[in-house]
Amino acid sequence: MKLDLLRMLRHEDIYVWERGAIEAYYPELQTNESNNKNDRARTFCERYTTAEAIRGLPIFQDSATCEFDLIFGAFFGAASLESSPVEIPEQIGADGTQAEFAEASALE
């Protein structure tokens, strides 16, 4: 019943993690590792930096499909999370145009 509800919600572009909180997807704590929520989040982000690393989490070992692929595929319009180069746009002010932008914004 829960999975049916999640499917219906996803059909409506509403995404809820099957296991609830994102912390439920973290691997088990290692010896001397902090159980502090912020520390665990930072450690997770440092260790799991690619889609392949996330797919390799113990929680997905017995699954045919990785839930992250389903959700992020819907967000970004891709069937799977393949690594691809990301182009970062030039920030305002990098070439001295920030003042001009601020003045133009003030006039609007």
The tens digit of pLDDT for each residue in 32-72 reads 999 999 999 999 999 999 999 999 999 888 888 889 898 88
Max intra-chain CA distance, the chain = 59
Any idea where the domains of the chain sit in the sequence? 2-84
How crowded is residue 66: how many other Cβ atoms within 10 Å of its Cβ? 20
- pLDDT at res. 105: 46
Q: Which residue has the higher pLDDT, 64 or 6?
A: 6
Provide the residue count of the chain: 108
104: helix, strand or coil: helix
**Cα–Cα dist 95/38, whole Å:** 36
